[in-house]
Chain A
Amino acid sequence: MIQMDKIKYGLLRAIDLSGLGFLSPVVRLCTGEDPAKQTRDIARFIFLPILAFLVFLWIWSVIAPKHKTKAGEVPTPSVVWDAGKGIWSFHQREAAKEKGFLTSAENRLAKLQQATRRLAEVEKLEATAKKQVEEVIVASQDKFDAVVAPAKRAYEAKREEYREHRIESAAALKEEAASLMDASPARREAFLGKVRATNRISEAIKEELDQLKAEYEEAKEITFPEVKDAVKAATLLGEEKQFLVKYISMLGDNSREVKLEEAKSALEDAQEEFRTADSGDFYKLAASIISKEELRDTLASSKYAKPWTLPKQIVRSILCAFTGFFIATLIAIPIGILCGLSPSFMAAVTPFIALFKPVSPLVWLPIVMIIVGGFMPEPDKHWLIVFMGKIPFIKDYQIDPMFLSSAITVALCSLWATLVNTALGVGSVDKDHMNVARILRLGFAARLFKIVIPTALPLIFAGLRISLGVGWMVLVAAEILSTSEGIGKFVNDMYTNGSSESFAQMFVVVFIVGFIGMVLDRIMVFLQRLVSFDTAPAL
């Protein structure tokens, strides 16, 4: 029983620390503590939010299709879900291609066989799917006609009416015009009025005609759900087929192993020729051997030219945000401590805080890019880029001046919260604690590390939490502007692309960015609670 309690309170403490308070009624209910209250709490803190989210999804799916844009309809939740799946399968397929390019020997052949078999299957399936699409379209032809035909009829009738009206009125007016030769000015004036009136009528008819035409065009656009589904199934299969073709080529003729073999045998041939030839241009032969040797070496270390997929871009964005956050922390905490310790320093720094804090990242970024560019006229040779290119894991994420500029912009925008909070925390050291320190005759360093910083730590972490949140928001904007690989670049590409699919993918990004921001925030809350010595809950 005591063991049970220990586990229970351990769990509750962990839940409290991690800020996942909504789980605690579940734990309490499992241990049978006041079931009525726990059920109420579960209903309130778990089911109600889920319900609210479902309501949100429902409202979204109802409203979204009603708005037409250049990039098609605003995507509904299910379309966004499919777009998310599409992003993920693209990532997995690229990873598979890369792996295929690098595998060797029997493994490669086995995979090649497998892929070829799958391709045959998919081709068959795709053919069926395409046939299905045609069938569905034929089957829904009547339905289509039922919708489109009335609109078409109305439009054509109106068009006829318009034509007739124009011809008839023109004939009538011409006839009357002929009789105007010796008519009085009053009659001529009346005729002018008649022409004007006729024109007005034909304009009105034209307007109606345009309206009907638009309706007809719109009716033609209609796609029935069954057609949509059939097309989607065929498209998915088509995409898989395309992937398999590429994949097979990566496993087969285009794989590193095969290419390397080819290069090696070509080199051997050339060497053989060089050694055995009786006559000819030996210089040319030697040069060809050298160039073939070079080709072999390049191939041996060659990599699959993998495009940036969203998951990789996300990792790079997180890396960039943390680099910026790290720079901000390195600057903000020491300056904040100085501000808290010395009112004079605080007074000197306050105008800078007030002046630079409201500056938008969109202003900082171009400035930072130019300055960083000034430091690195040849980025590939700069020691920092070279150094970062050697760090494992980080080297895969293309550390370039753009990355550094984005990170510095993040730092410039996010350091203020930490700075101000650190100054506040250091400034709020208890006078009695300082008196104790004076009586004990603690030195400056001991006072700083044993009294001042521990006192300020909860507030410092509160500041860091705000900074990380700001940094994450700023980062996406900075990446859009700097077209540095990352989530921002993805959004920018999708925006420029402008298809309805890329429109849905932007919605996916909204949820991903939000989710990562939430996780980062929770991590900071957890750290903040770990260093908080009082029991006051951090929100």
Chain B
Amino acid sequence: MYTTDMTDSSPCLELDDASIGYGTGSQRLEVLQNVNLAVAPNEFVAVIGFSGAGKSTLVSLLAGLATPDSGRARMLGEKISRPSPRRGVMFQSYSLLPWLTVFGNIQLAAKQVFPKKSKSEICEHVEHYIEMVNLTPARDKQPHELSGGMRQRVSLARTLAMEPEVLLLDEPLSALDALTRAVLQDEILDIWEKQRKTVVLITNDVDEAILMADRIIPLTMGPGATLAEAFPVPLPRPRDRRTLIDQPDYQKLKAEITSYLVGLNRQVREIRISPTLQMPDVAPKQFRLPSKMPGMKRSRIA
């Protein structure tokens, strides 16, 4: 295995045969079924899957925003029963409060998580994280004045300012354009290298997963999705996107994961193929036009 401590220590985040679904009766939809996951402390795991597979539901389970119908979700051996600032979540939709400034948004989180800090300490704390994501010039701007990339940076700073033990990144970069995404990927990696944390990254981008993660776990297609066999990423860190592409390991891994995902997609399509519907054999009884048809009389006269 790639890291030694992964097998030695107990896992930081765990899903134990967890299943969850929504609705009741005929509306019932099983989203995740028998999901097993163990994330070691300070490990960077990427979960990759098609949209609609249930990736966000997986994050909800880990964050404690949803509880599994069966099975268990645990953090450091303790049952996850409700959300906590110990597991910071970064949402795809930024979810910044539009009436607060960058500073205000982060301050709201910091004040709540560190109620004992004095006003000036909180201010210092918030400014430290704004600095970390390079947003100091935009400190007093409101979200609608910022670009998508900047907004996601604020969201990152807010999550980091809670100083969580676990970071759950729910497709944080998929709404951004390719260039901004690359910049933010590097920034997130950079921050992670400096202060390692347990991270679960949800993504649909194979390159992103390989660049950032220690392990890539594909999520099979829903409904009733589950986690498949993991692909370890044996590339050395720190990784540089410019040299990474040339490494044979990278290309091999990418090919493997891509073909696995494509295979998943094909499988599902075969399952979902609908049988041809037999149409009823219908023929009109007679071909005469109805007598009260407007214009009929005139044509007869003519």
A residues adjacent to B (C-beta < 8 A): 430, 432-433, 435-436, 438-442, 446, 450-451, 454, 457, 533-535
Q: How far does the alpha carbon of A440 sit from the alpha carbon of B97 in the complex, in Å?
A: 13
Q: Is B112 positioned at the interface, with any CB of A under 8 Å from its CB?
A: yes
Q: How far does the alpha carbon of A433 sit from the alpha carbon of B155 in the complex, in Å?
A: 12
List 29 contacting pairs A-B, 8 Å CB cutoff, sorted by A: A430-B95, A432-B93, A432-B95, A433-B97, A435-B63, A435-B91, A435-B95, A436-B89, A436-B91, A436-B95, A436-B109, A438-B83, A439-B63, A439-B65, A439-B84, A439-B85, A439-B88, A439-B89, A439-B162, A440-B85, A440-B113, A441-B85, A441-B112, A446-B112, A450-B108, A457-B99, A533-B98, A533-B99, A533-B142
Residues of B within 8 A of A446 (CB): 112
A439–B99 touching, CB < 8 Å = no
Residues of A within 8 A of B82 (CB): 438
Tell me the dominant secondary structure on chain A's binding face.
helix
Residues of B within 8 A of A454 (CB): 97, 99
Query: A534: nearest residue on chain B (CB-CB)?
Result: B144
Q: Is B87 positioned at the interface, with any CB of A under 8 Å from its CB?
A: yes
Query: B59: nearest residue on chain A (CB-CB)?
Result: A435
Tell me the dominant secondary structure on chain B's binding face.
loop
B85–A438 touching, CB < 8 Å = no
Residues of A within 8 A of B83 (CB): 435, 438-439, 441
CB distance from A264 to the nearest CB of B (A): 66
Q: How far does the alpha carbon of A435 sit from the alpha carbon of B108 in the complex, in Å?
A: 14
Residues of A within 8 A of B142 (CB): 533
CB distance from A538 to the nearest CB of B (A): 15
Question: If the complex has contacts A440-B162, A441-B83, A533-B99, are A432 and B91 also in contact, measured as CB distance less than 8 A?
Answer: yes
CB distance from B292 to the nearest CB of A (A): 45
Kindly identify, within residues 72 to 128 of chain B, every residue whose CB is under 8 Å from any CB belonging to chain A. Answer: 82-85, 87-89, 91, 93, 95, 97-99, 108-109, 112-113
Residues of B within 8 A of A441 (CB): 83-85, 112
Q: How far does the alpha carbon of A451 sit from the alpha carbon of B109 in the complex, in Å?
A: 12
> How many A-B pairs with Cβ below 8 Å?
54
B97–A451 touching, CB < 8 Å = yes
B65–A438 touching, CB < 8 Å = yes
A533–B144 touching, CB < 8 Å = yes
Kindly identify, within residues 118 to 159 of chain B, every residue whose CB is under 8 Å from any CB belonging to chain A. Answer: 142, 144
Residues of A within 8 A of B144 (CB): 533-535
Residues of A within 8 A of B95 (CB): 430, 432-433, 435-436
Query: B93: nearest residue on chain A (CB-CB)?
Result: A432
Q: How large is the interface on B (under 10, 10 to 19, 20 to 34, 35 or more residues)?
A: 20 to 34
Residues of A within 8 A of B98 (CB): 533-534
Q: How far does the alpha carbon of A440 sit from the alpha carbon of B82 in the complex, in Å?
A: 11
B113–A435 touching, CB < 8 Å = no
CB distance from B301 to the nearest CB of A (A): 53
Residues of B within 8 A of A430 (CB): 93, 95
CB distance from A453 to the nearest CB of B (A): 10
Query: A536: nearest residue on chain B (CB-CB)?
Result: B144
CB distance from B213 to the nearest CB of A (A): 23
Q: How far does the alpha carbon of A535 sit from the alpha carbon of B144 in the complex, in Å?
A: 8
Q: How far does the alpha carbon of A8 sit from the alpha carbon of B113 in the complex, in Å?
A: 43
Residues of B within 8 A of A440 (CB): 85, 108-109, 112-113, 162
Query: A531: nearest residue on chain B (CB-CB)?
Result: B99
Q: How far does the alpha carbon of A533 sit from the alpha carbon of B253 in the complex, in Å?
A: 46
Among all A-B residue pairs, the 3 with the closest Cβ atoms: A432-B95, A533-B99, A533-B98
Q: How far does the alpha carbon of A533 sit from the alpha carbon of B162 in the complex, in Å?
A: 25
Told that A435-B65, A435-B89 touch, could you supply 5 new A-B pairs with CB distance under 8 A? A430-B93, A438-B65, A442-B112, A457-B99, A534-B144
Q: How far does the alpha carbon of A439 sit from the alpha carbon of B113 in the complex, in Å?
A: 10
Query: B110: nearest residue on chain A (CB-CB)?
Result: A440
Q: How far does the alpha carbon of A433 sit from the alpha carbon of B108 in the complex, in Å?
A: 12
Residues of B within 8 A of A451 (CB): 97
Residues of B within 8 A of A436 (CB): 89, 91, 95, 109
Q: How far does the alpha carbon of A432 sit from the alpha carbon of B95 in the complex, in Å?
A: 6
Task: Identify the interface centre among B83, B88, B113, B162: most chain A CB within 10 Å of its CB.
Answer: B83
Task: Identify the interface centre among B65, B87, B97: most chain A CB within 10 Å of its CB.
Answer: B97
Q: How far does the alpha carbon of A533 sit from the alpha carbon of B63 in the complex, in Å?
A: 29
Q: How far does the alpha carbon of A497 sit from the alpha carbon of B84 in the complex, in Å?
A: 74
Query: A451: nearest residue on chain B (CB-CB)?
Result: B97
Residues of B within 8 A of A534 (CB): 98, 144
Query: A433: nearest residue on chain B (CB-CB)?
Result: B95
CB distance from A237 to the nearest CB of B (A): 62
CB distance from A459 to the nearest CB of B (A): 13
Q: How far does the alpha carbon of A436 sit from the alpha carbon of B113 in the complex, in Å?
A: 12
Q: How far does the alpha carbon of A534 sit from the alpha carbon of B109 in the complex, in Å?
A: 22
Q: How far does the alpha carbon of A85 sit from the alpha carbon of B142 in the complex, in Å?
A: 51
Q: How far does the alpha carbon of A433 sit from the alpha carbon of B98 in the complex, in Å?
A: 10
CB distance from B43 to the nearest CB of A (A): 21
Query: A458: nearest residue on chain B (CB-CB)?
Result: B99
Q: How far does the alpha carbon of A442 sit from the alpha carbon of B109 in the complex, in Å?
A: 9
Q: How far does the alpha carbon of A433 sit from the alpha carbon of B112 in the complex, in Å?
A: 15
CB distance from A194 to the nearest CB of B (A): 62
